[in-house]
Structures are given as structure tokens and as C-alpha cells.
Amino acid sequence: MNNRFKFAALLCFGLSAVSVVGCSDTVDEVKDEVDCHQVCSRYADCVDSDYDIDACQDRCESAADNSEARRNKLRACDDCIEDKSCGGSFVCLDECSGIVP
């Protein structure tokens, strides 16, 4: 009986550890996708209403997947434009250059 309890406890611990570790990449991908969509949509809203948001989002996510520096730049851009009007978001050119034109 004692061995069954130990086995069950170890199994639960192992499954918990795997599920926590296995989800971290997915969480980052979802966060990057949200940031990319927000940044690309904001550019379309404020600068070019004909801008291809889907293509921008695809490029942005691909770049973010391949580079920690790009992910950091994306987050900085998103944080900068988050609470600004279209006119106010022009101060975010440094943070957003290379993510959107």
C-alpha cells in the first residue's frame, strides 16, 4: 500500500512538472501573437488603413520566434503605444522601427 502511494505521488509530481514546462513556449507564442496583432493593427489604424495586418503579424511572429531581442523590441513597442493616441504614438518610433514600416 505504501509503495502504491509513493508511485501515485511521484506520477502526479512528474505529470505536473511536465505540464508546467510544456506550456511555457505556448504562453510565449500567444503573448507574441497578441503583441504582434496589436502593433500591426495599430499601424493600420493610425498610418495606413490598407496595410496588410495578417502579413505584418506573420512577419512579426516569425521574427519574434527567432530572436529574443526581437521579442523584447516587440514588447517595448507594444508597451509604448498601448495607452497613446495615434498622434501620441509617434514618440514610439525607436521602439517600433523594424516591426512595422
Q: What is the pLDDT of residues 50-68, one digit of tens each?
A: 999 999 999 999 998 988 9
Would you state the pLDDT for residue 25?
Answer: 52
Asked if residue 5 belongs to a domain, the reply is: no
Would you state the pLDDT for residue 100?
Answer: 86
29 φ/ψ sector (left φ>0, alpha ψ -120 to 50, else beta) = alpha
d(CA 4, CA 94) in angstroms, rounded, equals: 59
Domain that holds residue 48: 25-96
Residue 100's SS3 state is strand
Domain count, the chain: 1
Asked if residue 3 belongs to a domain, the reply is: no
d(CA 56, CA 41) in angstroms, rounded, equals: 9
Asked if residue 16 belongs to a domain, the reply is: no
User: What average pLDDT is seen over the chain?
Assistant: 77
Asked if residue 15 belongs to a domain, the reply is: no
Asked if residue 11 belongs to a domain, the reply is: no
d(CA 91, CA 80) in angstroms, rounded, equals: 8
Would you state the pLDDT for residue 7?
Answer: 43
98 φ/ψ sector (left φ>0, alpha ψ -120 to 50, else beta) = left
pTM of the model as a whole: 0.64
What stretches in the chain show pLDDT beneath 50?
2-24, 27
Asked if residue 41 belongs to a domain, the reply is: yes
Asked if residue 9 belongs to a domain, the reply is: no
